[in-house]
Amino acid sequence: MRASRRVGIVGWGVYVPKWRIKSEELARGWGRDWNRYAAGIMVEEKSVPGIDEDTFTIAYEASINALKRARIDASKLRAVYVGTESKPYAVKTTATMLIDALGAGGEGRLTTGADYEFACKAGTEAIQSILGLIGSGMIDYGLTVGADTAQGAPGDALEYTASAGGAAYILGPADRSVAVIEASLSHVTDTPDFWRRQHERYPAHTRAFTGEPAYFKHITTAAKELMALMGTAPEDYDYAIFHQPNGKFPLRVGTRLGFTPDKIKPGLITPYIGNTYSGSALVGLAAVLDQAKPGQKILVVSFGSGAGSDAFHIEVKEGIEEVQGLAPKTMDYVSRKEYVDYTTYARYRRMIRMLHDFSAY
């Protein structure tokens, strides 16, 4: 898919909560030996949202950072889309709160706003929508956020990786951009690898579908088709970013496609903060943009369970180095950390119900 008007990234921003829990501590909570899982998951610790944090508060700070780099006023934003699978409300759009908090669309709030849902690829799906709006000339600037406070059932394998964080991107016309999104392409099928039913607190997943039929098939198909569309090969890219449900899968899928690990590792953030779901690939892209140089090419391929992948071909432009230092970088948030034990983690995630949660005292 290519827009008739070229569109790019004007600004980007990240937010990761400061709290961390070590995988070893999570295993200890359930009487398990982390050494048995470490090589298969390759995530040593994960971020934990504070007791007063959720997808909206994460999206807000990431968006403020994106606005600082974009150097535009929020009133210029005419589309605000939040991709998440951990909406604060089942029914009340997170984007409404973000629009009002930022002042998007100016005093009259003349902007579209919506929440997007597609498991871990909701954020990149929102980027494609804004690509279309700007690419067709309907609007000039739009904001998209991929953020989550991901749920992993206590004691389940997902508990080692389900974390919190997000990234925000302000898109605009290519001549105002520091990185141009030259093309995008998606691949979607009905693959029941992971889901969460209405009113359920935690998702279910089918082990047999998780790897090959879901993650690997969709990412490799989207990546290969996009490279065929662009006439490119893995050697043409300086960086490759894949959805990061754990530390192992992105390296494996990248290697299978023909990318060397040194092109994948700069955008591989999950080993330090866990899987931020809708934020996952987008936080990885932000870490790469934090250090990218003009002329470099980036391949981004997200993955969302259910299942599908969105692939993007991005070329970095002159001027990116001027904006990299205008807001805290991804690694600033990654290195800002304080460890909590399982009890505090359970309290912060509100896994423990208190008297006032259900009694009329």
Partner 1 sequence: MWAYWQSVPAHWRELPARYRLEGGRCKDCGHKTLPEERVCPVCGSKNIERVALPRRGKVINYSVIWNAPRGYEYYTPYVVALIELEDGTRVFSQLTDVHPEEVKEGMEVEMVIRKTRVSGESGLIAYSYKFRPVLG
Residues carrying an active site annotation: 85, 120, 243
Q: Count Cβ atoms below 10 Å from residue 190 Cβ, excluding itself.
A: 7
* Residue 315 engages partner 1 in binding (rule: CB under 8 A): no
User: Least distance (Å) from partner 1 to the CB of residue 131?
Assistant: 28
Selected binder of partner 1 within 45, 54, 115, 148 (CB under 8 A): 54
User: Least distance (Å) from partner 1 to the CB of residue 87?
Assistant: 11
Selected binder of partner 1 within 31, 52, 107, 207 (CB under 8 A): 52
Residues sharing a CB contact under 8 Å with residue 303, sequence separation 6 or more, in sequence order: 120, 121, 214, 215, 218, 219, 242, 243, 245, 281, 309
- Give 179's strand partners: 9, 316
User: Least distance (Å) from partner 1 to the CB of residue 96?
Assistant: 11
* Residue 53 engages partner 1 in binding (rule: CB under 8 A): yes
**What is the 3-state secondary structure of the chain?**
CCCCCCEEEEEEEEECCCEEEEHHHHHHHCCCCHHHCHHHHCCCEEEECCCCCCHHHHHHHHHHHHHHHHCCCHHHEEEEEEECCCCCCCCCCHHHHHHHHHCCCCCCCCCEEEEECECECHHHHHHHHHHHHHHCCCCCEEEEEEEEECCCCCCCHHHHCECEEEEEEEEEEHHHCCEEEEEEEEEEEEECCEECCCCCCCCEECHHHHHHHHHHHHHHHHHHHHHHHHCCCHHHCCEEEECCCCCCHHHHHHHHHCCCHHHHHHHCCHHHHCECHHHHHHHHHHHHHCCCCCCCEEEEECCECEEEEEEEEEEECCCHHHHHHHCCCHHHHHHCCEECCHHHHHHHCCCCCCHHHHCCC
Select from 48-56, 107-115, 154-162, 243-251 the region that touches partner 1 (CB under 8 A). Answer: 48-56
Select from 55-63, 125-133, 282-290, 308-316 the region that touches partner 1 (CB under 8 A). Answer: 55-63
User: Going edge to edge, which strands form the sheet with 45-48?
Assistant: 45-48, 19-22, 338-339
**Closest CB to partner 1 among 235 and 358?**
358
**Closest CB to partner 1 among 59 and 171?**
59
What is the C-alpha to C-alpha distance for residues 195 and 172, in angstroms, rounded to an integer? 33
Selected binder of partner 1 within 28, 37, 38, 50 (CB under 8 A): 50
**Distances from the Cα of 136 to the Cαs of 4, 172, 247, 249, in angstroms?**
6, 12, 38, 36
Q: Spell out, one character per residue from 319 to 348, where the chain touches partner 1: x when CB under 8 A holds, - when not.
A: ---------x---x---x----------x-
User: Least distance (Å) from partner 1 to the CB of residue 352?
Assistant: 9
Selected binder of partner 1 within 2, 5, 6, 18 (CB under 8 A): 18
**Closest CB to partner 1 among 196 and 224?**
196
* Residue 100 engages partner 1 in binding (rule: CB under 8 A): yes
* Residue 72 engages partner 1 in binding (rule: CB under 8 A): no
User: Least distance (Å) from partner 1 to the CB of residue 52?
Assistant: 4
Selected binder of partner 1 within 60, 116, 160, 272 (CB under 8 A): 60
Selected binder of partner 1 within 61, 85, 290, 310 (CB under 8 A): 61
**Closest CB to partner 1 among 61 and 193?**
61
Selected binder of partner 1 within 71, 73, 89, 293 (CB under 8 A): 89
Q: Return the residues of window 247-286 that contact partner 1 according to CB under 8 A.
A: none
User: Least distance (Å) from partner 1 to the CB of residue 59?
Assistant: 10
* Residue 91 engages partner 1 in binding (rule: CB under 8 A): no
User: Least distance (Å) from partner 1 to the CB of residue 106?
Assistant: 13
* Residue 57 engages partner 1 in binding (rule: CB under 8 A): yes
Residues that bind partner 1 (CB under 8 A): 18, 50-54, 56-57, 60-61, 88-89, 97, 100-101, 103, 328, 332, 336, 347, 350, 354, 356-358, 360
